[in-house]
Amino acid sequence: MAYQYKGLNIEKIGVIGSGQIGPDIALHFSKVFHKHGVPVVVVDISEEALAGGEKKLHKKIDRGMKSGAFSPEMGDAMKSNTTFTSDYDQLKGSSFIVEAATEDKDLKGRIFTQIRKLCPDTILASNSSHLEPELIFEPLADKSKTLVIHYFFPAERNVALEIIPGAESDPQMIDDLLGLYESIGKVPIKVGSRYGYAVDPIFEGIFQAAALCVEEGMGSTKEVDAAAARALGLTVGPFTAMNLTGGNPITFHGLDMSHDRLNKWYKSPKLLADAMETGDRWEVPARGEKVELPEDQETKLKNAMRGAYLGLVGQIIDSGITNVADLEMELELGLDLTPPFRMMNHLGLAETLKLVEAYAAAHPDFPVAACIRKQAAAGKDWQIDFVIRKDVGDVAVVTIRRPKVLNALNADVFAQLKRHFQDIADDSAIKAAVLTGFGTKAFVSGADVGFIASMDTPEAGISDSQRSQASGNFIENLKKPVIAAYNGLAFGGGNEMGMCCTARICRTGLKVAVGQPEVNLGIIPGAGGTQRLPRLIGIRKASEMLRTGRPITGAQAVEYGLMLEEVEPTKLLDRAVELARAAAAGDLGGKRVDPSPVKVPAQLEDVKLGHLSTAIDAILCRTILEGCAMPLSEGLAHESAMFGECCKTEDMQIGVKNFVEKGPRSRAEFVHK
């Protein structure tokens, strides 16, 4: 068996190194590929390391089985799918090998020289956190099938990933690997070749800034750790992170190398050198411990850490190895801290520059990024792209990319969708478009929580409903066909956006594919769902979905006529592009929404509402029956007016508050008023 993704045919995967990260990389591969019959082989020259790596992998799988994350059958299959061996010959026949040995250029070079003899056609990747691919693969004559892949701790769970091509890496292979990793649940970004890449200079720089705060007498390691976590939105502070990852040695080396390779500010602090000598763990807050500081101390630490963090981020953008949107996403996901460009926009660019300049004044070797100076001088917020366009010949592929919130919609996404589709309308080289979401979990999970919570008056509800409808209306009225490719679930506004497209397809196997769950929040759909869904699948089926909030499977969506077809996940986008071209040629039998009035019954059939609000249901029934009897444009206006009516109810306040405070799985206690 094998796993096919575009030009990649994955039949066996090798992992070299059974130390700290190798077993975790192998665990992720085995979790994904065991069901495709793709074996994972972990090789190490140390029998002790192999035994420890296998024990570590089995322990994590056992923990997953105990928590219910893995069924017993799945856990056993993952274990049996992963082989730990000192026999390098077992790597023969591997399609893809990831080396995860010690961060040593010469060692890595020797390993890859040996492997290339065993596996002449295999894609070879080094899991490095610092070294450029040109250095690692220097001994190899043909470097076209080589690259660096930087995993983040813990590798089996952290979705962030940097992919670093070398100067001679095959561009098509790199594009295929970016897609492959996305298809197996990671969030990869492509980064230019430079020492440390994009994320580690920031991660290690944050630690250095925290250590300098201690050395400069601003607080103890425990105090600085807590204050830094609060200042940067970190789940754990920089000293705690070092304890968890065992990162002292590699950070010690990385900072000193960065001093020579990046800029003179980077330098392993004495505090770290002393810790390396003693082997002691950092003193940090205990789990759940709150470390309160005097206001002036907290402010000094906050300003220092933010000045360093935002300055480091600006330096990466100045280097040109990545872009604002990719770096913003990767730092949020990989390091779990407040996204930097949103932080700068929130603080204001003038205040951001002030913080960075103050930090540089206290640390003269710290460069002030030109991009921050330029942005502050322009007085403009950073543009953070959550909607990405990539053209495939004459078809534009538009992707909503907010993986942290399952591609949820907010005002920025709506505005960026409108902008992209306006550009598509004006681009004579583009004949059609595809709309999809990033990753494998969601096309769009619905509207952002904050976006919903802001609708606190009837006027705000009407306005937000109209704004939500505007992007979809623009897509619907585009004079070029648009195919929606549901790469995962589509809830609420996501499905409402998809229904504005010429036709919809979804990936196979979606047990939860489409839903309009608004009634669980004490609201009705406001982006066209009450009007388009009945026109697409009929009043009876649509009203049941809308009134109960229950989702349907992908197969049901095809049966209902909402979807054109189901497609294998790895072929979804290719099929969507093919259908878009067919639609442009007039050869697609897709089902557009008919804007004509619909013949409606005197009343809707009874459904079991359970805990749901009868007050909201009454508004919803009116919206469906009255709106569908009108032309679509009038029905949409009616939906917005009725959304405003929801904002007058107690149940909307109860439902939204419950959702914000307790999450989507908690049932609101409606009072039916």
**pLDDT-derived band at 226, boundaries 50, 70, 90:** very high
**By C-alpha distance, which of 448, 496, 441 is closest to 640?**
496
pLDDT at 444: 97
Distance CA 47, CA 37 (A): 26
Q: Note whether 443 and 436 are within 8 A (CB).
A: yes
Determine the pLDDT at residue 664: 81
**Under a CB-based contact definition with an 8 Å cutoff, are residues 513 and 489 in contact?**
yes
Helix (H, G, I), strand (E, B) or coil at 384: coil
What is the reported pLDDT for 589?
66
The fraction of the chain above a pLDDT of 70, given in percent, is: 99
What is the percent of the chain with per-residue pLDDT over 90, rounded to a whole number? 91
* Residue 559 a catalytic site member: no
The rounded distance, in Å, linking the Cα atoms of 407 and 188 is 16
Q: How much of the chain is in helix, strand and coil states, percent to nearest 5?
A: 50, 10, 35
* DSSP class of 605: P
Bridge partners (DSSP) of residue 387 are 400
* CATH 3.90.226.10 residue spans of the chain: 387-662
Phi, psi of 449 (to 5 degrees): -55, -45
Task: Domain 387-662: give its CATH superfamily.
Answer: 2-enoyl-CoA Hydratase; Chain A, domain 1 (3.90.226.10)
Q: N- to C-terminal Cα distance for the chain?
A: 58
The ranges of the chain annotated as CATH 1.10.1040.50 are 200-378
Whether 518 is catalytic is: yes
Please check whether residue 166 is in contact with residue 227, taking contact to mean a CB–CB distance below 8 angstroms: no
Please report which confidence band the pLDDT of residue 590 belongs to, taking 50, 70 and 90 as the band edges: low
**Model confidence over 417-434: pLDDT tens digits?**
999 999 999 999 999 999
pLDDT of residue 662: 86
Q: Which of 518, 566, 639, 645 is catalytic?
A: 518
Q: List, for residues 328-359, the tens digit of each pLDDT value.
A: 999 999 999 999 999 999 999 999 999 999 99
Helix (H, G, I), strand (E, B) or coil at 98: strand
What does the alpha-carbon distance between residue 239 and residue 225 come to, in Å, rounded to a whole number?
A: 6
Q: Where in the chain is the domain with CATH 3.40.50.720?
A: 3-190
Rounded to 5°, angle at Cα 531 from 528 and 534: 130
DSSP per residue over 205-217, as a string?
HHHHHHHHHHHTT
Task: State residue 329's pLDDT score.
Answer: 97
Res 547: pLDDT: 97
pLDDT, position 588: 77
pLDDT at 561 over 70: yes
Is residue 451 scored above 80 in pLDDT? no
Tell whether the model's pLDDT for residue 458 goes beyond 90.
no
Contact 94, 122 (CB under 8 A): yes
Residue pair 188/238 in contact by the 8 Å Cβ criterion:
no
Residue 394 contacts by C-beta under 8 Å, 6 or more apart in sequence?
A: 429, 430, 431, 432, 581, 584
The mean per-residue pLDDT over the stretch 271-287 comes to 93
Q: Which of 331, 220, 360, 339 is nearest to 283 (CA)?
A: 220
With 0-12 CB in 10 A as exposed, 13-18 as middle and 19+ as buried, what is 449?
middle
Catalytic residue among 496, 566, 639, 645: 496
Residue 148 above 80 pLDDT?
Answer: yes
DSSP character at residue 76: H
Which are the contacts of 303, defined by CB distance < 8 A and separation ≥ 6? 355, 358, 359
Strand pairing category for 160-165 and 146-151: antiparallel
Q: What is the mean pLDDT of the chain?
A: 95
* Paired strand residues for 149: 163
pLDDT band of residue 663 (cuts 50, 70, 90) is: confident
Q: Between the CA atoms of 223, 226, 231 and 234, what dihedral angle is there, to the nearest 10 degrees?
A: 150
Topology annotation, domain 3-190: Rossmann fold (3.40.50)
Mean pLDDT in residue range 593-617: 93
Q: Which helix (H) or strand (E) holds 163?
A: strand 160-165
Neighbours of 565 (CB within 10 A): 13
In terms of residues, how long is the chain? 673
Identify the helix (H) or strand (E) that includes residue 172: helix 171-183
- Identify the DSSP state of 552: B
Q: Quick check: 72 pLDDT over 90? A: yes
> What residue has token string 């949020």?
332
Q: What is the DSSP letter of 409?
A: B
Contact 558, 564 (CB under 8 A): yes
**Is pLDDT of 598 > 70?**
yes
Quote the CA–CA distance of 136 and 108 in Å, as a whole number: 6
How far apart CA 580 and CA 393 sit, in angstroms, is 12
pLDDT confidence of residue 539: 96
What CA–CA distance (Å, rounded) separates 267 from 255? 5
Q: Encoding tokens for residue 242?
A: 């070092």
State in words which class domain 200-378 has. mainly alpha
Instruction: Report which of 164, 167, 192 is spatially closest to residue 178, judged by C-alpha positions.
Output: 164
- 506's enclosing H/E stretch is strand 503-507
CA distance 351 to 526: 38
The CA distance from 50 to 455, in Å, is: 56
Judged against a pLDDT cut of 90, whether residue 630 lies above it is answered with yes
Q: What is the pLDDT of residues 111-139, one digit of tens each?
A: 999 999 999 999 999 999 999 999 999 99
Single pTM value for the model: 0.94
Question: Which residues, 6+ apart, have CB-to-CB distance to 366 below 8 Å?
Answer: 263, 265, 308, 311, 359, 360
